[in-house]
Amino acid sequence: MMMHLKRLLLDLISERQTITQQQLDVLTDADWATICEMAMSHRIAPLLYWQLKQKMLVIPVSVSERLRNIYKKSAIRAVKMQAELLKLHQLLSSQRIHHIALKGSYLANVIYPHAALRPMRDIDLLLPQAQLAGAYEQLIKHGYRHPPKYAKYKGSSDDWLKFSKHIPPLLSPTGVIVELHHKVFHPENSPSEDLVADDNFWYRCIVAHVAGQQILFMSPTDLLLHLIMHASYDHRFNNGPLVLTDIAYLIEHCTIDWSLFWQAAQVGSSKDGCSLVLHMVKYYFPEIRIESLDDLGSKGQSLAMDAERFALLMLQDYESRAVHATLSKIKARGIVGKAKWFF
């Protein structure tokens, strides 16, 4: 029954026209409670509420009210996150510190129909490594502080950056977590050379308007690769199904340089991972146009058949996700690495 509810939830937040009113009418209160808990756990409750409205499906009043309240809270949170993004942009720009906003900032404020549909945990900014220390000093000067877990960090970033793509997170005066990145990919997980190593990366960046401000963002092609690498290699599909709608909306609303994308995937030995994620997106958003996805022959057909199975893995509860993450770490290491990890 749980697997049925997982399939139902993924179908409801996608563009697949497979859900009928009759399927929803037979659900019990316990079923709806499970669906809501899964949606909340994976930050897709606002999207579920919106898609139910778009598909004109009728659900119990109590469930509708619960989802509507979550949507309202997400909208309020989105305003807070946008205000923080603009504040950071103005602060860093005033000091001539080059920066681009990553992932969620672009998706929520530019790509999704409403920012509330794409909840953000934090704000990620990418900077040239040479300007990282200056940016850190400015944020500390303006009241940003490390959460207690990282209170001992005092800005000596060289050792930290050897094994991390960002310095320890900072907490803004308004309570928003901010991460200053010097790389896009996690150095321990990614099979690809980091995007910032490409001399043309910064030139490909684009400008988009957010509340009247011109913010610099990663190019849609680079963002697509970033989203896939983050989900498949950094988290091993352990970070929820929001990535599927992220990619679907990105491809639908932006021009992707598919030749450049597949070339980067091939050079970085991540073509299989990219193909699998894009097959997952295609399964739930069949109208999305993805070039060269079927060029892998029998391997591509195998990835397409696995698409739904891997998508369902994204809907694990927190306890299962922790176990899955642990097993993924063990599996990813060699014999010596396994021994060290267990030790």
pLDDT at 327: 47
Residue 200, domain member (yes or no): yes
pLDDT tens column, 165-213 = 888 899 999 999 999 999 998 877 666 788 898 889 999 999 999 999 9
The band of 262, judged by pLDDT with boundaries at 50, 70 and 90, is very high
Helix (H, G, I), strand (E, B) or coil at 162: coil
Residue 25, domain member (yes or no): yes
Q: Is the model's pLDDT at 245 over the cut of 60?
A: yes
pLDDT at 313: 80
Residue 342, domain member (yes or no): no
CA distances in angstroms from 6 to 29, 68, 168, 317, listed in the order given: 16, 21, 35, 11
Mean pLDDT of 64-71: 98
pLDDT at 76: 97
Mean pLDDT of 39-50: 95
pLDDT at 158: 62
DSSP type of residue 147: -
Mean pLDDT of the chain: 86
| Proportion of the chain above pLDDT 70, given as a percent | 85
CA 29 – CA 62 distance, rounded (Å):
10
Q: Is the model's pLDDT at 91 over the cut of 90?
A: yes
pLDDT at 292: 85
Q: Tell me which of 267 and 140 has the higher pLDDT.
A: 140
Residue 188, domain member (yes or no): yes
The band of 155, judged by pLDDT with boundaries at 50, 70 and 90, is low
Residue 339, domain member (yes or no): no
User: Kind of pairing, strands 170-171 and 177-181?
Assistant: antiparallel
Number of domains in the chain: 1
Mean pLDDT of 84-99: 96
pLDDT at 159: 66
E strand or H helix that includes residue 273: helix 271-284
CA distances in angstroms from 283 to 46, 128, 135, 199, 316, listed in the order given: 21, 37, 42, 35, 19
Mean pLDDT of 52-81: 96
Provide the residue range defining the domain that includes 122. 2-332
pLDDT at 340: 47
Q: Tell me which of 321 and 287 has the higher pLDDT.
A: 287
Pick from 12-16, 42-46, 228-232, 328-332: least confident = 328-332
**Residue carrying structure tokens 């808990």:** 37
**Residue 224: Cβ-neighbour burial (10 angstroms; 0-12, 13-18, 19+):** buried
Q: Is the model's pLDDT at 322 over the cut of 90?
A: no
The band of 246, judged by pLDDT with boundaries at 50, 70 and 90, is very high
Residue 310, domain member (yes or no): yes
- Residues 10-46: b if buried by 16+ CB within 10 A, e if exposed: bbbbbbeeebeeeebeebeeebbebbbebbeebbbbb
Residue 341, domain member (yes or no): no
Please state the pTM of the whole predicted model. Answer: 0.88
Mean pLDDT of 7-33: 91
CB atoms within 10 A of CB 281: 26
CB atoms within 10 A of CB 231: 25
Q: Is the model's pLDDT at 339 over the cut of 90?
A: no
Q: Identify which of 95, 106, 83, 93 has the alpha carbon closest to the alpha carbon of residue 174.
A: 83
Residue 275, domain member (yes or no): yes
**Residue 202: Cβ-neighbour burial (10 angstroms; 0-12, 13-18, 19+):** middle
pLDDT at 309: 81
**CATH code at position 247:** 3.30.460.40
CA 341 – CA 333 distance, rounded (Å):
9
DSSP assignment of 191-254: SSPPGGGSTTHHHH-EEEEETTEEEEE--HHHHHHHHHHIIIIISTT-S-THHHHHHHHHHHHS
